[in-house]
Amino acid sequence: MDDFDDDSFNDVLGAMEMPTAAKQPKVDAPAATAVNPAPSTSTEPSGSDRPAPGKPPSNPHCVLVHSKQRGNPILKSILNVPLEFRDDIVPDYVVGRTSCVLYLSLKYHNLNPDYICQRLKALGKMYELRVLLVQVDTPEPNNALKSLTRISLLADLTMMLAWNAEEAGKIIETYKQFEKRPPDLIMERVESNPHQKLLAALTNIKPVNKTDAAALLHTFGNLGNIINASEERLSQVMGLGPRKAKKLYKTLQEPFLSK
């Protein structure tokens, strides 16, 4: 997997069915019931009553966990959301109606480099958000991570790195907790207060920080006075110093309108 020109690796990737656009989870009920069908005497639900792959549980707050992940140490760190073990889901974890997680230990990847390609082929076009959660548990991860980055780009995956089992569990937990949160929670907040806007504008000039910006406004009163101040006068502002003053003065003297 470290050799990106390996023909067999490219053939495997090329054979995978890659999503061309965001899609809803694909449910194929006949295929699900065709694998190991339950006997009529079983108490397990069958047919349309049996949960289909990718379908959330009755409790919408649950993280669906594939039965093969039972015993994974990362589960001990998922404390704030309930877990439901299922063997009828394709990914390792389902953290939302259209979101899933494939877990991969880097040590295991080095021993079985074709494993992730096989998992992606089985996943197909299901789920809009497909997270590849990689636990970095090898001393020299660079080459393997380059390979997985390439796979993630080709297969439309979001790759997340965890440096221990606890961190990996918290990543899964966070995805579930933020499943229905509005996107503005992680979007940059636009300040409406003119003073805050001016502070933000000044801190865009490197290396001016918020403390420097506040000191400038306290000393000069407004932006006009800051612009008209000399470099020497700027350097006299407490905490600014000659280096920051020179950069600030040079930036403020540049034309703001392009010709």
* One domain for residues 245 and 132: no
pLDDT tens, 23-59?
444 444 443 333 333 333 333 333 333 445 445 445 7
The rounded mean pLDDT for the chain is: 79
* One domain for residues 82 and 173: yes
pTM (two decimals)? 0.55
Which amino acid, one-letter code, is at 230?
A: S
What average pLDDT score do residues 118-143 get? 92
Of 6-15, 101-110, 159-168, 230-239, the least confident: 6-15
Q: Domain count of the chain?
A: 2
Distance (Å) of CA 193 to CA 155, 187, 190, 196: 43, 18, 9, 5
Q: What angle do CA 170, 174, 177 make, to 5 degrees?
A: 135
Last residue of a domain, one of 151, 178, 205: 178
* One domain for residues 205 and 172: no
For 65-130, the three-class secondary structure string (H helix, E strand, C coil) is: EEHHHCCCHHHHHCCCCCEEEECCCCCCEEEECCEEEEEEEHHHHHHCCCHHHHHHHHHCCCCCEE
Q: Which CATH number belongs to the domain containing residue 117 in this structure?
A: 3.40.50.10130
* One domain for residues 98 and 156: yes
Residue 239, domain member (yes or no): yes
Parent domain of 105: 57-178
Last residue of a domain, one of 125, 152, 178: 178
Residue 242, domain member (yes or no): yes
Q: Which CATH number belongs to the domain containing residue 221 in this structure?
A: 1.10.150.20
* One domain for residues 79 and 159: yes
* One domain for residues 173 and 61: yes
Residue 55 and residue 91 in contact, taking contact as beta carbons nearer than 8 Å: no
Residue 6, domain member (yes or no): no
Residue 25, domain member (yes or no): no
* One domain for residues 69 and 153: yes
* One domain for residues 212 and 247: yes
Residue 3, domain member (yes or no): no
* One domain for residues 199 and 142: no
pLDDT-based confidence at residue 225 (cuts at 50, 70, 90): very high
* One domain for residues 130 and 235: no
* One domain for residues 142 and 200: no
Residue 82, domain member (yes or no): yes
Last residue of a domain, one of 178, 202, 227: 178
